[in-house]
Amino acid sequence: MDLWSSRTGFILAATGAAVGIGNIWRFPSVVGRNGGGAYLIPFLIAVFVFAVPLIILEINSGRRTRADIVATFRDVRPGFRIFGWFIVAIVILILSYYLVITGWILAFLVSAITGGDISLGSFTATYALVLSFTVSLGIVAAVLSLGVREGIERLTTVLMPLVFVILLGMAVFSVTLSGFSEGVAFFLTPDLSVLTDPLIWSAAFGQAFFSLSAGMGILITYGSYVGEEMDVPEAAAIIAVADVIVAVLAGIVIFPIVFTFDLEPSLGTELAFSTLPAAFSLLPGGRIVAGAFFGLLFAAAITSAVSMMEVGVSTVRGETQFSRRQATILVSVLVFFLGMPSLLSYTPFQLQVWGTPFLDLLDNSVGTLGLPVTALVISITFGYFARHEEVRVPRIERLTTTSTKYLLPPVLVAIIASQLFLGFDFPGWHTLPGSTLDRALVSAAILVCIGVLAYLLLRLQRAAAK
């Protein structure tokens, strides 16, 4: 049986799943645009009152069944396994374009290390992204083929401390910049008037779940490798605190650079791949700073990608007779082909749907609307239908049960409704682009298609069992 070797190994692996590239470049810009420090109030409420109880519920559900996510849903009710397949489909689709972004980061990291001159425009004007995407996918596959302890745990044990060291080092460096005071003030000065805006609360809750990987099935999968001696509530709190610290440190690093060079602080992807690299070139030791920044992003991207692919690998292993290596190869090939449309949308081919790059369309549908939907499915399934006496943790039973069963579902419904009817976009790589109702309806249609795919996978599994 696959198990984490230690409590520390699990916490670092789960933190690696939570800490992704969205924490580092998107969270600061959203905070800065939406009330500064005031935005942290609904965000921290979302994290510790809603997301942490869901994390505890997911980990304990996985630990109880010691199985993949489809089997965990099937354990609640046999017919519920379709929900497991639905979540697997969502996660794999997110991974398919997440690794495209990871390929961008890898290319910029190599350029920073070698002293090359690269820009997002010049990079996407060629097909070099195919190579960087393939290499990133290969790294993730190689890690997973080694197993839980030798692969996932060993990787995160090295990379997550490195992420914190690099962030702390860059934060110390940012203190020396002329724009430090102005940048930190922009980032953290509260504008309490924004707290009356329901969309800010919706954004904060969406960011909290996206940031912590709550409701994606990742922590059900990782929880299946947790030993009985683990104090799950304590581990969940540590993961949440570490994730928040990374997000705040990222703001302290980024905004002083932004204000030192009079850059636009509200940008998302463009800030990371266009304006910041230009600013790095003007800094003393800018090549080192650029290497540290993109090394930080790449480490965060790889650990998150590993956690997402493990959901698929674990499911294939659990639902077939495949070995870990065979399952890893199968899922890797699937991700490669699913990632091609997103990959081609930022190459000379410029694959678009209704004038929107395919990657952006997938992010605005599966990434934006899919995550609260999967979190809602998990909270209802394990809040109302699971055998609670086996899932709950006595010390925090009342808080966890109240939050995941009664408070969390209506909050998630409100987030989904805000996306569908108000056109509000919270967790994408771009910063609040202002989705239209048409795009929201397209998003809903795509999720329906994924549901149909999940049903077909279920039928295929039943046919194979016969």
**Location of structure tokens 């046999």:** 78
Q: How confident is the model at residue 282 (pLDDT cuts 50, 70, 90)?
A: confident
Mean pLDDT for 198-227 is 86
Q: What is the 3-state secondary structure (H, E, C) of the chain?
A: CCCCCCHHHHHHHHHHHHCCHHHHHHHHHHHHHCCHHHHHHHHHHHHHHHHHHHHHHHHHHHHHHCCCHHHHHHHHCHHHHHHHHHHHHHHHHHHHHHHHHHHHHHHHHHHHHHCCCCCHHHHHCCCHHHHHHHHHHHHHHHHHHCCHHHHHHHHHHHHHHHHHHHHHHHHHHHHCCCCHHHHHHHHHCCCHHHHHCHHHHHHHHHHHHHHHCCCCCHHHHHHCCCCCCCCHHHHHHHHHHHHHHHHHHHHHHHHHHHHHCCCCCCCCHHHHHHHHHHHHCCCCCHHHHHHHHHHHHHHHHHHHHHHHHHHHHHHHHHHCCCCHHHHHHHHHHHHHHHHHHHHHCCCCCCCEECCEEHHHHHHHHHHCCHHHHHHHHHHHHHHHHCCHHHHCCHHHHHHHHHHHHHHHHHHHHHHHHHHHHCCCCCCCCCCCCCCCHHHHHHHHHHHHHHHHHHHHHHHHHHHHHC
Residue 156 in this model has a pLDDT that exceeds 90:
yes
pLDDT band at 429 (very low <50, low <70, confident <90, very high): very low
Task: Supply the pLDDT for residue 101.
Answer: 92
Distances (CA, A) of 247 to 86, 133, 244, 341, 425: 29, 25, 5, 30, 19
Which is higher by pLDDT, 446 or 322?
322
What burial class does residue 209 get, using C-beta atoms within 10 Å of its C-beta: 0-12 exposed, 13-18 middle, 19+ buried?
buried
Instruction: Report pLDDT for 335.
Output: 97
Banded model confidence at residue 99, pLDDT cuts 50, 70, 90: very high
User: Of the ranges 197-201, 215-219, 391-395, 399-403, which one carries the lowest mean pLDDT score?
Assistant: 391-395
- For the chain, what's the residue count? 466
Q: What percent of the chain has pLDDT over 70?
A: 85
Stretch 161-175: mean pLDDT: 91
| Cα separation, 85 vs 70, whole angstroms | 6
Domain-by-domain residue ranges, the chain? Answer: 7-405
Mean pLDDT of 247-262: 87
List the single range of 62-66, 262-266, 383-387, 423-427 with lowest mean pLDDT: 423-427
* pLDDT value of position 427: 41
Distance CA 302, CA 212 (A): 15
Nearest to 213 by CA among 407, 19, 362, 10: 19
pLDDT exceeds cutoff 90 at 273: no
Tens digits of residue pLDDT in 335-381: 999 999 999 998 888 888 877 888 888 887 787 778 888 999 999 99
Kindly report, residue by residue over 308-348, the tens digit of the pLDDT: 999 999 999 999 989 999 999 999 999 999 999 999 998 88
Comparing CA positions, the residue from 373, 70, 366 lying closest to residue 221 is 70
The pLDDT confidence band at residue 462, using thresholds 50, 70 and 90, is low
**Residue 460: per-residue pLDDT:** 63
Name which residue leads in pLDDT, 390 or 297: 297
Which range, of 323-327, 436-440, 459-463, averages the lowest pLDDT? 436-440
Segment 13-34 mean pLDDT: 82
Residue at 183: amino acid letter: G
Query: Is residue 324 within 8 Å of 337, Cβ to Cβ?
Result: no
Closest of 208, 224, 277, 227 to residue 75, by C-alpha: 224
Q: How far apart are alpha carbons 282 and 262 in whole angstroms?
A: 13
Q: Which among 96, 62, 70 is positioned nearest to 460, based on CA atoms?
A: 70
Distance in Å from the first CA to the final CA of the chain: 27
C-beta of residue 219 within 8 angstroms of C-beta of residue 63? no
Return the pLDDT at 332: 97
Higher-confidence position of 320 and 199: 320
Look at residue 435 and tell me whether its pLDDT is greater than 70: no
Best CA proximity match to 432, nearest among 270, 188, 297, 266: 266
For the chain, give the percent of residues with pLDDT over 90: 41
pLDDT (0 to 100) of residue 201: 81
Mean pLDDT of the chain: 84
Highest CATH level, class, for 7-405: mainly alpha
Per-residue pLDDT tens over the stretch 76-88: 999 899 999 999 9
